[in-house]
Amino acid sequence: MNWDDLRHFSALASAGSLSGAARMLGVEHATVARRISSLENHLGVQLVDRRGRRWSLTGEGERIAAIAERMETEAQAVRRAADGARSELSGTVTISAPPALALAFLTQPLVALQARHQALTIRMLSEARTASLDRSEADIAVRLSRPEDGDLMITRLGRLAFRLYANPDYLALTKEAAWRFIGYEGASPRAPQQTAAERFAGSRPFTFFASSLEIQQAAARAGGGVAALPDFMARSDPGLVAAVPEELMSRDIWFVVHNDLRRSAPVRAILEKLREAFASHPRSPDRD
């Protein structure tokens, strides 16, 4: 059996669609379809029902997908064990982090680290979603929510303070009772800063929603209303001022890595570099 065929089929089962599997594997969707057909021919079993626009797994496909998922998990564990034993600063490390945080705090120190270790390659996935460390979608995750499950090493890097910000002209022309609010609308679960903003707003309306902090910041700067933004983004923005002086809420920043990788030299070096960056950065969350 060709392991690559099974890997492509496992991606289809996990993603639920050809296009999703293709994105997961970084290939064309036609490649996924061809690999699955090859696996079916080898096994002599139909794994996918191709009727209609969406492919679905047959009963045999469901059973084999469950076995393939266990095999994939074990294969990823082998890779992590090998990476964890690596003592030199080399190879590729993939880091998943929220876009605004990656831009403000991660990029510069990691570029400096890579410049000193030319054999090290860093892949930065700037994304709001939570990458799976068990499935090796990333080696390291920097998150604003502390994971509750998984065999993980979790280290606190800092804290994000959120306040309500708005354009100064908007605040001058609008009574507090008439404030409109800019909300965060993203993947579940709901962002804690959105819950806090709704509690502050009470019956006052949210009239603009965005799925990124950068767009919320731009909307507030344009006079769209009051937004809950982290101080490190909004405090230095000349187009924004704090609508109220008090901190609205705060969120901890977590460095997360699978325990299999905790002794990896590149992982240890990256953790130390990020600790230094958060401790010394002039806009560091812990320096509010």
Nearest C-alpha neighbor of 265 from the set 130, 158, 104, 139: 139
Question: Of all residues in the chain, what percent carry a pLDDT higher than 90?
Answer: 37
Tokens for 146? Answer: 């502390």
- pLDDT tens digits, 18-65: 888 888 888 887 898 899 999 999 888 898 888 766 778 888 888 888
Residue intervals in the chain for CATH 3.40.190.10: 91-155+257-287, 160-251
Class for the domain spanning 160-251: alpha beta
Nearest C-alpha neighbor of 19 from the set 54, 64, 47, 65: 54
Give dist(CA 23, CA 11) in Å, integer.
10
Pairing of strands 91-97, 120-126: parallel
Tokens for 251? Answer: 């969120």
Q: Which of 6-10, 15-19, 144-148, 216-220 has the highest mean pLDDT?
A: 216-220
Q: Residue 188 pLDDT more than 60?
A: no
Q: What's the CATH number of domain 3-84, 1.10.10.10, 1.10.600.10, 1.20.120.10, 3.40.630.30? A: 1.10.10.10
Give dist(CA 219, CA 61) in Å, integer.
47
Write out 3-28 in H/E/C secondary structure: HHHHHHHHHHHHHCCHHHHHHHHCCC
Predicted pLDDT at 288:
45
Q: pLDDT band at residue 128, thresholds of 50, 70 and 90? A: low
Predicted pLDDT at 285:
57
Across the chain, mean pLDDT equals 86
Predicted pLDDT at 126:
80
Which secondary-structure segment (H or E) carries 272? Answer: helix 265-280
Predicted pLDDT at 132:
64
Q: Residue 195 pLDDT more than 90?
A: yes
Task: Please indicate whether residue 166 or residue 60 has the higher confidence score (pLDDT).
Answer: 166
Predicted pLDDT at 130:
64
Chain centroid to Cα 130, Å, comes to 4
Q: What DSSP line would sit under the chain, residue for residue?
A: --HHHHHHHHHHHHHSSHHHHHHHHTS-HHHHHHHHHHHHHHHTS--EE--SSS-EE-HHHHHHHHHHHHHHHHHHHHHHHHHHT--SS-EEEEEEE-HHHIIIIIHHHHHHHHHH-TTEEEEEEE-SS---TTTTS-SEEEESS---SSSEEEEEEEEEEEEEEE-HHHHHHS-GGG--EEEE--SSSPPHHHHHHHHHHTTSPEEEEESSHHHHHHHHHTT--EEEEEHHHHTT-TT-EESSSS--EEEEEEEEEEGGGTT-HHHHHHHHHHHHHHHH-TT-GGG-
CATH topology for 91-155+257-287 is D-Maltodextrin-Binding Protein; domain 2 (3.40.190)
Q: Look up residue 232 and give its amino acid.
A: F
Residue intervals in the chain for CATH 1.10.10.10: 3-84
Task: Please indicate whether residue 131 or residue 256 has the higher confidence score (pLDDT).
Answer: 256
C-alpha Rg value of the chain to the nearest Å: 23
Q: pLDDT band at residue 187, thresholds of 50, 70 and 90? A: low
Q: pLDDT band at residue 88, thresholds of 50, 70 and 90? A: low
Give dist(CA 10, CA 6) in Å, integer.
6
Predicted pLDDT at 1:
66
Q: Look up residue 19 and give its amino acid.
A: S
What are the distances in angstroms from CA 246 to CA 161, 175, 234, 250? 10, 18, 14, 11
